[in-house]
């Protein structure tokens, strides 16, 4: 099954603070461990802070554009990756080993697959 | 309670290959390594539900396995001393010593590669290689493997026991060979992965047209391999071939489970993420230089389809050229049959039919349902419907897949109207 992993925003990510070389190295190492475990990262990226983004709100048949930044930091997404795993339990076990050092929220959301519509 | 078991399953799936690989290097016996790993799993199943999952479950399992190994070693040493008095030597397979365990876990990549090479060792039958690979590297249980291949559990269990014994008796060294020997051994590994993939993609028997879990397992193994030996173009070629092929999974089954042929598929339903990954893998193969190998060539053919937004945009002349190259490299009647299909698309059904007719005397294709199936298709396009119907009926009697049989009988019936 495929899961979308959403890494929620923090004050740092919203301020556009880039990860340090050490954090990047830890992330790379984590990625290697995932590959060795046979878990496949199909895609993924970090997102720029919401101050660089926009929202389109559809209401009354007319789109309204709202420029960032947006409030509710913890509800915002700062990065994502798409992984292929055997089960939600596997995704949880795996992401629990991520190089996160406190405060981060990582949300795991399985995708609807063809068999869900059968 | 079941939640913790799900979590233990997940840990096992993540850790088992690394664990077995590291143990196998140390105890120099794959069968014993697997038993030790299983012992560690049993210990985890006993202890974790009460104590909780440890912070570093991989290290915990390794320590547990190590303790079992050292226990056995001491027992065997005592036994060996007794045996020596009776003029027996120590058993070679168990000739490891305690200090070997100090280095465990230090060379994970090499360990995994060695384990892959050994699970697909040429001394083993193809069936045994497949079962052992799924068991040791895919983390599948014996019942899971049996279900995937629709054979009784006891058959798979025996196959695995026998395979482990064969490896032990042949004293297959646990090492990575170099040069041509490595290339040979790798090709055996790739063959096993592709076999697993194909069994999932076009199930040879049973009522389901596909068993997607097997495709995922094969893809996963291929992707791991691509990181272990990134310098080998054919590994990337195979990964590319599997990614692009798998991208069509959703589109090749209709609402009632019936097969939908490539050219009739709704291309919007292809998985474009997998196609992109396939293109990237193919590019890696191409960048390594040299002529493309058989897997990369097949991937290049699949990429031609992947690139075409509609079936009519397919670059058939290029596909014919790629099949020409493939036929030179890997002459086989099946490749010729595929080439004939490409020729018919590029230059017309009559030209394709001439090539197919030339294959009718091939003994290797006597029981191959796709020969009459392709021939029926070309005859139908040429308006020779009676002959086409007979060919589809013949193809239906040859396939062992229930879904495909229905499909072929449907085409036969359409020709008879």
Q: Dump pLDDT digits (tens) for B2-15.
A: 788 888 988 988 88
Contact by Cβ (8 Å): B285, B237: yes
Subunit contact B249:A36, Cβ cutoff 8 A: no
Q: Which residues of B touch A (CB under 8 A)?
A: 3, 6-7, 9-11, 13-15, 17-18, 57, 108-109, 112, 137-139, 216, 219-221, 223-224, 227, 249-250, 253, 273-274, 277
How far apart are the C-alpha atoms of B174 and B192, rounded to whole Å?
19
Q: Is the Cβ of A86 closer than 8 Å to some Cβ of chain B?
A: yes
Contacts of A35 in chain B (CB under 8 A): 223-224, 227
pLDDT at B47 over 90: yes
Contact by Cβ (8 Å): A8, A75: yes
pLDDT, chain B, mean: 88
Retrieve residue B407's tokens. 């499909």
pLDDT number for residue B154: 94
Q: Dump pLDDT digits (tens) for B231-267.
A: 999 999 999 999 999 999 889 888 887 788 899 999 9
Subunit contact A87:B227, Cβ cutoff 8 A: no
Q: Which of B60, B157, B59, B160 is nearest to B119 (CA)?
A: B160
pLDDT number for residue B92: 44
- Measured in angstroms, the CA of B169 and the nearest CA of chain A are apart by 29
- Measured in angstroms, the CA of A35 and the nearest CA of chain B are apart by 6
- Looking at residues B373-393, what average pLDDT do you find? 95
Q: Dump pLDDT digits (tens) for B72-131.
A: 878 877 766 666 555 444 444 445 666 666 555 557 788 889 999 999 999 999 999 999
Burial bucket for residue B54 (CB in 10 Å: 0-12, 13-18, 19+): middle
- Measured in angstroms, the CA of B221 and the nearest CA of chain A are apart by 7
Question: Does residue A69 have a cis bond before it (omega within 30 degrees)?
Answer: yes
Subunit contact A87:B17, Cβ cutoff 8 A: no
pLDDT number for residue B289: 83
How far apart are the C-alpha atoms of B317 and B34, rounded to whole Å?
50
Q: Which of B265, B147, B144 is nearest to B205 (CA)?
A: B147
Domain boundaries, chain A: 2-112
Contact by Cβ (8 Å): B327, B339: yes
| Identity of the residue in B10, B18, B250 whose CB atom sits nearest the CB atom of A89 | B10
pLDDT number for residue B93: 41
Considering Cα of B6, then B10, then B13, then B18, what sign does the dihedral take? Answer: negative
How far apart are the C-alpha atoms of A84 and B267, rounded to whole Å?
22
| Identity of the residue in B7, B137, B227 whose CB atom sits nearest the CB atom of A93 | B7
* Weakest-pLDDT range from B146-150, B288-292, B316-320, B340-344: B146-150
Share of chain A above pLDDT 70, in %: 97
Subunit contact A84:B220, Cβ cutoff 8 A: yes
B1: confidence class by pLDDT, cuts 50, 70, 90: low
pLDDT number for residue B100: 62
Q: Which residue has the higher pLDDT, B107 or B346?
A: B346
Share of chain B above pLDDT 90, in %: 59
pLDDT number for residue B89: 42
A55: confidence class by pLDDT, cuts 50, 70, 90: very high
User: In chain A, whose CA is at the least distance from the CA of B2?
Assistant: A89
What is residue B266's DSSP assignment? -
Q: Which residue has the higher pLDDT, B161 or A113?
A: B161
Interface with chain A: mutation pick from B2, B7, B10, B21, highest number of A CBs within 10 Å: B10
A101: confidence class by pLDDT, cuts 50, 70, 90: confident
Compute how many other C-beta atoms are within 10 angstroms of the C-beta atom of residue B145: 26
- Looking at residues B360-377, what average pLDDT do you find? 92
Q: Is the Cβ of A40 closer than 8 Å to some Cβ of chain B?
A: yes
pLDDT number for residue A14: 92
The dotted CATH code for A2-112 is 3.30.70.1060
Contact by Cβ (8 Å): A47, A68: no
- Looking at residues B318-331, what average pLDDT do you find? 95
Q: Dump pLDDT digits (tens) for A29-53.
A: 888 777 777 777 888 889 999 999 9
Subunit contact B11:A93, Cβ cutoff 8 A: yes
Subunit contact B250:A114, Cβ cutoff 8 A: yes
């Amino acid at each position: 099954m495929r899961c979308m992993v959403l890494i929620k925003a923090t004050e740092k990510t919203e301020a556009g603070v880039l990860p340090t070389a050490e954090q990047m190295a830890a992330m790379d190492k984590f990625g290697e461990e995932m590959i060795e475990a046979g878990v496949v990262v199909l895609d993924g990226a970090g997102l720029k802070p919401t101050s660089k983004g926009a929202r389109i709100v559809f209401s009354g048949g007319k789109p309204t554009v709202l420029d960032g930044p947006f409030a509710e930091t913890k509800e915002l997404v700062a990065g994502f990756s798409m992984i292929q795993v055997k089960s939600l339990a596997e995704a949880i076990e795996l992401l629990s080993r991520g190089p996160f050092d406190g405060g981060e929220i990582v949300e795991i959301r399985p995708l609807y697959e063809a068999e869900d519509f059968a | 309670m079941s939640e913790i078991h799900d979590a233990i399953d997940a840990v096992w799936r993540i850790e088992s290959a690394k664990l077995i690989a590291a143990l196998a290097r140390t105890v120099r016996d794959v069968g014993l390594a697997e038993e030790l790993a299983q012992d560690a799993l049993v210990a985890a199943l006993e202890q974790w539900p009460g104590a909780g999952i440890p912070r570093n479950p991989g290290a915990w399992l390794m320590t547990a396995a190590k303790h079992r190994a050292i226990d056995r070693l001491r027992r065997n040493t005592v036994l060996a001393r007794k045996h020596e008095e009776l003029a027996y030597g120590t058993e070679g397979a168990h000739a490891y010593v305690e200090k070997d365990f100090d280095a465990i876990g230090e060379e994970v990549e090499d360990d995994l590669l060695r384990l892959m090479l050994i699970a697909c060792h040429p001394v083993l039958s193809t069936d045994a290689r497949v079962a052992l690979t799924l068991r040791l590297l895919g983390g599948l249980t014996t019942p899971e493997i049996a279900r995937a291949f629709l054979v009784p559990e006891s058959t798979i269990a025996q196959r695995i026991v026998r395979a482990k014994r064969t490896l032990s008796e042949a004293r297959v060294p646990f090492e990575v060979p170099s040069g041509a020997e490595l290339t040979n051994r790798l090709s055996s590994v790739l063959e096993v992965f592709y076999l697993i993939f194909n069994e999932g993609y076009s199930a040879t028997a049973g009522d389901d047209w596909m068993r997607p879990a097997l495709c995922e397992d094969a893809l996963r193994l291929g992707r791991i391999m691509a990181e272990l030996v990134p310098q080998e173009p054919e590994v990337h070629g195979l990964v590319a071939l599997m990614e692009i092929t798998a991208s069509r999974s959703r589109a090749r089954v209709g609402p009632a489970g019936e097969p939908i042929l490539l050219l009739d598929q709704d291309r919007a339903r292809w998985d474009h993420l997998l196609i992109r990954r396939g293109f990237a893998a193919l590019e890696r193969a191409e960048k390594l230089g040299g002529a493309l190998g058989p897997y990369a060539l097949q991937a290049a053919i699949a990429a031609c389809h992947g690139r075409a937004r509609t079936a009519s945009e397919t670059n058939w002349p290029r596909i014919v050229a790629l099949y020409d190259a493939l036929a030179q490299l890997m002459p086989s009647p099946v490749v010729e049959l595929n080439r004939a299909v490409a020729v018919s698309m590029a230059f017309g059904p009559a030209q394709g039919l001439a090539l197919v007719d030339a294959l009718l005397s091939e003994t290797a294709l006597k029981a191959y349902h796709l020969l009459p199936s392709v021939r029926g298709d070309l005859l139908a396009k040429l308006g020779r419907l009676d002959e086409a119907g007979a060919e589809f009926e013949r193809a239906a009697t040859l396939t062992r897949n229930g879904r495909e049989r229905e499909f072929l009988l449907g085409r036969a019936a359409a020709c008879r109207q």
